[in-house]
Structure 1
Amino acid sequence: MRLIQNKRFLLSLSNQSRYFIVVAAFLGATAVMLGAYASHGLSTWATPAQITQVQTASQYQLFHAITVLIVALISSLFPHRLISLSLWFFTLGTFCFSGSLYYLVFLGSKLLVLITPLGGLLLICAWLCLGISMLFKQK
């Protein structure tokens, strides 16, 4: 019986939830790949500081991939504009924060260096939106 209920839940997911589950899977897979490369392949050409930057980026990316997955599922159970907004902020924040660190290390350019704190700010906003959304009574 429980399996049937779980299957119904998965089939009833909103398009937004499905989209962000796909995003979470992409973020998770690439975080694992880049983290593994930082641990095993990066040392042949990168400095210890660069290796640390890639490890930090991949850890934040993996953590927030899991967060996006969980929040996407929550958004189907408790639809709220702030939850939807938090999903966008988590996704954009992760791309900005981790992506700018990868860009800095792999391309050697500081062009996007100001994007890193913007990504961090977006992640903070995402957490705040998620928390505030839970203060509202669900219908």
Structure 2
Amino acid sequence: MTARLCLAIASILGGLSVAGGAFGAHALKEQLTEKALATFELGTRYQMYHSLALLLVGLLWLQLPNNSWLGSASWAFIVGIVIFSGSLYGLSLSGIKILGAITPLGGLALIIGWGLLATAALSLTN
């Protein structure tokens, strides 16, 4: 992973979250139950939040290319987005309940990403 790739992935995931939100609000509104739609929307919201976090990591990484914590944080955010939001999309669209059991693993990856970002900040020297 590089800072440039991190920024590109953040941009793609951010754009996909906007597309997913629009899809949910328009195409899925009549197709899903209120609960399933809320689950789908939660996935898009967290995808956007963490796409922005990933964008921040990429920008920091450009300024601090030797900070290895930033590379680890980027991977944690990407894995977290895929597992957390992906499982919520799958759950809401398919109704397969077991996908809900996977969601916390994605949440854990997102939390780890924030922890790694904090570690990157604390590792800075004046």
Q: Which amino acid aligns with 1:118?
A: L
Q: CA deviation at 1:89?
A: 0.3
Q: CA deviation at 1:99?
A: 0.3
Whether 1:34 aligns to 2:45 is: no
Q: Which has the larger radius of gyration?
A: 1
Distance in 2 (alpha carbons) for counterparts of 1:137 and 1:34 = 37
Q: CA deviation at 1:72?
A: 0.6
Whether 1:136 aligns to 2:105 is: no
Which 4+ residue blocks in structure 1 deviate beyond 4 angstroms?
Answer: none
2:56 paired residue among 70, 74, 82: 70
Q: Which amino acid aligns with 1:54?
A: F
In the TM superposition, what are the counterparts of 1:6-21 in structure 2 within 5 Å?
Answer: 16-21=2-7
Corresponding position of 1:82: 69
Q: CA deviation at 1:113?
A: 2.3
Q: Which amino acid aligns with 1:137?
A: L
Corresponding position of 2:100: 113
Cα deviation per residue 1:11-49 (whole Å; 9 max; x = unaligned)?
xxxx70111111111111110011111212212110000
Q: Which amino acid aligns with 1:52?
A: A
Q: Which moved more, 1:42-51 or 1:76-85?
A: 76-85
The CA RMSD over aligned residues, in Å, is: 1.5
Q: Report % sequence identity.
A: 33
Distance in 2 (alpha carbons) for counterparts of 1:25 and 1:136 = 26
Higher RCO (CA < 8 A, seq sep 6+): 2
Segments of 5+ residues of structure 2 without an aligned counterpart are none
Q: Which amino acid aligns with 1:104?
A: L
Query: TM-score scaled to structure 2, two decimals?
Result: 0.91
1:46 paired residue among 32, 36, 51: 32
Query: TM-score scaled to structure 1, two decimals?
Result: 0.83
Segments of 5+ residues of structure 1 without an aligned counterpart are 1-14
Q: Which amino acid aligns with 1:42?
A: L
Q: Which amino acid aligns with 2:60?
A: I
Distance in 1 (alpha carbons) for counterparts of 2:83 and 2:6 = 17
